[in-house]
């Protein structure tokens, strides 16, 4: 069968785009693993953090926020976001380092200074002597990643989309006006390739004879440990520090932590490094009242970046009908609703900048000049 769109990768990025596209054309979503969400999507910290990332990332997340608050009818039964809040701690003597974060405060995305005593009430695991001053950001939320991903997959199927998993694309050839995609077991034909292969996005590009964009997968390690039995951590915010990229947060009655490490590696099914785990456990004990006797769970995932840490989406400049949806870095879950829609608009029509302007997002805010923009869309929307 011949499809309008073949989306490579059923992580959150590819699935969100496939869901949006399935309203307008025939879509095949191809995933190498037997389980969707096996790589970065299933290994995140599941946070919505409106003030993190480049200006482009923050602008994209303002658009995503509307979807999270008000998903389409029937998309999901439970809320996609639940309030978590974040607390950023400056050590004594480093109080001025909170100014940049305070300056980001905006209506609906407030950031407040709180006293050390209030910070301790919110996060009683902290060591009092380590708190110089603190900032609270109530808009940070937990994302129900599984509900979001399953909502997209369910809606995709309801819209007539086809998911094939356990099939890695191993060859992409242009035959006339079509792409021929091969896996070890099958051959598919499509008019447009959407490259949402996460850490493997450059590998997929090379298969198609497209120049890589310099994706660098970076490993991040995380652990889950028991909390202190006498402290209820369920309502605790995420705790960040101005002096380090490390953070911790509650996770189902336990505590999840990461050093915020960013080690460049090859694309792979990444495993946590024992040394990183030991350093992380040591850091967590030094910043909190926890005594760690056992690591309950540890994992590592890949956050994939290009040089300016902003996502890349749009048609390739040189090779026709090859569309990039890559480099979501550490923000791909929260950006997925907006990027899925923008990707569909770019693939279907040329009026997306106007649409975004109507939502209060200007091209400048979106950093549009850096998006790769190519030729006119090859597939016209059925309803426009
Ligand atoms: C520790 C950690 C914490 C994070 N915390 C957050 C957070 O709090 N909030 C947030 O928003 N983001 C967070 N992220 C980032 C987020 O997880 C990623 O940005 C997002 O999951 C990327 O999704 P993706 O679909 O692009 O990639 P992936 O989920 O990796 O999906 C890509 C898919 O493509 C498939 N694929 C690759 N090559 C082929 C091929 N040739 N044929 C077929 N399929 C192929 C892969 O098997 C994979 O399933 C975190 C990441 C990590 C690792």
pLDDT confidence bin for 59, thresholds 50/70/90: confident
**Tens of pLDDT along 191-248?**
999 999 999 999 999 999 999 999 999 999 999 999 998 888 889 999 999 999 999 9
pLDDT tens figures, 31-41: 999 999 999 99
Q: 149-177, pLDDT tens digit by residue?
A: 999 999 999 999 999 999 999 999 999 99
Whether the Cβ atoms of residue 194 and residue 13 lie closer than 8 Å to each other: no
Question: Which residue is it, tokens 């909170």?
Answer: 98
Nearest to 204 by CA among 232, 158, 178, 170: 170
Q: How far is CA 285 from the centre of its chain?
A: 28
Confidence of residue 29 (pLDDT cuts 50, 70, 90): very high
Average pLDDT over residues 106-132: 95
21 has a pLDDT exceeding 70: yes
Residue among 152, 181, 333 whose CB has most ligand 1 atoms within 8 A, to mutate: 333
Task: Tell me which fold the domain 86-138+217-305 belongs to.
Answer: D-Amino Acid Oxidase; Chain A, domain 2 (3.30.9)
Q: What is the largest CA-CA distance in the chain?
A: 68
CA distances in angstroms from 48 to 31, 82, 137, 156, 310, listed in the order given: 25, 10, 11, 23, 16
Q: Which residues contact 206 (CB under 8 A, 6 or more apart)?
A: 212
Name the segment(s) of the chain with CATH classification 3.50.50.60.
2-74+144-215+308-370
Of 2, 61, 30, 7, which Cα lies nearest the Cα of 329? 61
- Are the C-beta atoms of 188 and 297 separated by less than 8 Å? no
Q: What's the CA gap between 12 and 197, in Å, rounded?
A: 10
CATH 3.30.9.10 occupies which residues in the chain? 86-138+217-305
| 200 touches ligand 1 (CB under 6 Å) | yes
Fold of 2-74+144-215+308-370: FAD/NAD(P)-binding domain (3.50.50)
User: Is the distance from the beta carbon of residue 172 to the nearest atom of ligand 1 less than 6 Å?
Assistant: no
Residues in the chain: 384
Residue nearest atom 27 of ligand 1, based on CA coordinates: 198
Q: Is the CB of 249 under 6 A from ligand 1?
A: no
Per DSSP bridges, beta strands 141-143 and 47-48 are antiparallel
Structure tokens at 205: 């590009």
pLDDT of residue 363 exceeding 60: no
Site to substitute for ligand 1 among 6, 34, 44, most atoms within 8 A of C-beta: 44
Is pTM beyond 0.85 here?
yes
Q: Quick check: CB of 238 below 6 Å from ligand 1?
A: no
Q: Is the CB of 218 under 6 A from ligand 1?
A: no
């Amino acid at each position: 069968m011949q499809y309008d769109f073949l989306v490579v990768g059923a992580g959150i990025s590819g699935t969100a785009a496939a869901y949006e596209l399935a309203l307008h054309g025939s879509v095949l979503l191809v995933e190498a693993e037997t389980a969707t969400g096996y790589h970065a999507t299933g290994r995140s910290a599941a946070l919505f953090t409106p003030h993190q990332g480049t200006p482009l990332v923050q602008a994209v997340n303002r658009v995503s926020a509307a979807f999270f608050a008000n998903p389409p009818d029937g998309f999901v039964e439970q809320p996609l976001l639940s309030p978590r809040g974040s607390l950023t701690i400056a050590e004594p003597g480093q109080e001025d380092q909170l100014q940049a974060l305070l300056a980001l405060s905006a209506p609906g995305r407030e950031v407040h200074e709180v006293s050390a005593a209030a910070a301790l009430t919110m996060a009683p695991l902290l060591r009092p002597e380590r708190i110089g001053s603190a900032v609270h950001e109530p808009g940070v939320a937990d994302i129900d990643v599984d509900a979001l991903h399953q909502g997209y997959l369910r809606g995709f199927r309801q819209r007539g989309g086809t998911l094939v998993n356990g099939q890695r694309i191993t060859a992409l050839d242009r035959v006339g006006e079509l792409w021929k995609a091969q896996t070890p077991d099958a051959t598919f034909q499509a008019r447009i390739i959407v490259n949402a292969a996460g850490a493997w996005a450059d590998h997929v590009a090379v298969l198609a004879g497209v120049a890589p964009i310099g994706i660098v997968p970076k490993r991040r390690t995380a652990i889950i440990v028991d909390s202190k039995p006498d402290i209820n951590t369920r309502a605790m915010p995420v705790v960040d520090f101005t002096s380090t990229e490390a953070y911790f947060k509650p996770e189902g009655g336990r505590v999840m932590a990461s050093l915020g490490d960013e080690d460049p590696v090859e694309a792979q099914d990444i495993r946590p490094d024992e040394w990183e785990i030991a350093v992380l456990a040591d850091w967590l004990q030094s910043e909190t009242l926890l005594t760690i006797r056992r690591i309950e769970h540890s994992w590592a995932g890949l956050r994939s970046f290009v040089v300016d840490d902003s996502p890349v989406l749009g048609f390739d400049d040189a090779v026709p009908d090859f569309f990039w949806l890559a480099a979501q870095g550490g923000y791909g879950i929260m950006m997925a609703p907006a990027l899925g829609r923008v990707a569909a608009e770019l693939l279907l029509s040329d009026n997306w900048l106007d649409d975004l302007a109507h939502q209060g997002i200007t091209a400048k805010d979106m950093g549009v000049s850096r998006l790769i923009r190519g030729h006119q869309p090859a597939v016209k929307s059925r309803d426009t």
